[in-house]
Amino acid sequence: MAYILQQAVNGVPLAALYAVLAFAYAIAFAVTRRADITIGALFAFSGQIFALFFFIAWQRYWLILELCLAIGAVAAFLYTWGAATVIGRHVLQPLTRSEPHAVIVGGFAVMIVLMEIARLASETRSIWLPPLLQNAVTFLVVDGLAVTLTQMQVLNIALMLGSLALLALWLSRAAWGRRWKAVRDDPLAAELLGVDSQSVFVQAYVGAALIATFAGLLMTAYYGTMDFGAGLMFGLKVVMLGALGGYASPLKSAAGGAILGFAETMWTAFGPLALRDIVMFSALIYILVMTRREQLAP
């Protein structure tokens, strides 16, 4: 019983991560209306930039830990903001007006460029952060065994869930949220009512990228590094996460992401690890195919 409870608790941080990524992807998908892996690629890119600038400040300039973390975080947000602005305005926006599959091809190209930039900047070596907030927090004791999470996991959960709540509230009440919904529902009608749909497009994509950056920093600080190949895996997962909860509502997408996070954790605990991603992707594809609704002509 204690083992099952521990695995359930272990699933909360991953569920929170997937929820944030799915929320971010839903915001971008609402304006692109195309399957796009670049949000996951930017998530990984931000973690790599964070680790790289932390390493430079820590190893070369011997700054204190807190300042090194702050420098890495600021650099990650600035680099990801710049990359997302260029991608949204000069790559995705033109491609969404052309062949639908062009966004998928362009997304893979963007992912490769980001991955290679991070790899070359890091001289093809994995950069590790020192362990942060690794003390255990005990939630309950069952049969003499403690059910715990680390302080970093608890902090990640609180920050991610708190950010989701604030973002959902802001999206529902802010004037920009109303413009975003108008462009999501009908870009042409929004233009006729005075909404600059092209600006909303870029702003939505950059905002989604910055949300993914926030998640990337937290996960890099927890795991200690971000792999160069993580962009592809997280890019594909983010697309599936958004689809699982439905693209119309970021909160529903977040709920779908959370469900997948728990499922992935439980498979890791009770199933063969080598088959985890195969099983998860297969299950997601099956669910999406079985729940698809086609619009039939009368």
pLDDT, tens digit (0-9, with 9 covering 90-100), for 13-53 = 999 999 999 999 999 988 888 888 899 899 999 999 999 99
Domains: count for the chain: 1
Whether 297 maps to a domain, the answer reads no
Of the pLDDT bands very low, low, confident and very high (cuts 50, 70, 90), residue 297 is very low
pLDDT of residue 143: 78
Whether 295 maps to a domain, the answer reads no
Residue 230 near residue 21, CB atoms below 8 Å: no
Of all residues in the chain, what percent carry a pLDDT higher than 70?
Answer: 94
pLDDT of residue 211: 96
Whether 296 maps to a domain, the answer reads no
pLDDT of residue 216: 94
Averaged pLDDT of the chain: 87
Residue 26 near residue 238, CB atoms below 8 Å: no
Of all residues in the chain, what percent carry a pLDDT higher than 90?
Answer: 45
Whether 68 maps to a domain, the answer reads yes
pLDDT tens digit sequence for 43-73: 999 999 999 999 999 998 889 999 999 999 9
Q: Evaluate if residue 296 carries a pLDDT over 50.
A: no
Query: For the residues 165-183, what does the mean pLDDT come to?
Result: 92
Predicted TM-score (pTM) above 0.85: yes
User: Residue 272: which residues within 8 A CB-CB, separation 6 or more?
Assistant: none
CATH code, 87: 1.10.3470
Q: Evaluate if residue 111 carries a pLDDT over 70.
A: yes
Angle, vertex CA 140, rays to CA 135 and CA 144, nearest 5: 95
pLDDT of residue 246: 61
Whether 90 maps to a domain, the answer reads yes
Count CB neighbours of 26 within 10 A: 28
Whether 204 maps to a domain, the answer reads yes
Residue 228 near residue 118, CB atoms below 8 Å: yes
Q: Cα separations (Å) of 184 from 120, 180, 200?
A: 37, 6, 10
Task: State the angle between helix axes of 151-173 and 175-185 in degrees (0 to 180), rounded to the nearest 10.
Answer: 80
> How far apart are alpha carbons 46 and 43 in whole angstroms?
5
Residue 284 near residue 244, CB atoms below 8 Å: yes
Whether 221 maps to a domain, the answer reads yes
Domain with 186 in it? 2-290
Q: Evaluate if residue 292 carries a pLDDT over 60.
A: no
User: Residue 159: which residues within 8 A CB-CB, separation 6 or more?
Assistant: 214, 218
Whether 238 maps to a domain, the answer reads yes
pLDDT tens digit sequence for 175-232: 999 999 999 888 889 888 888 999 999 999 999 999 999 999 999 999 999 887 777 7
pLDDT of residue 251: 87
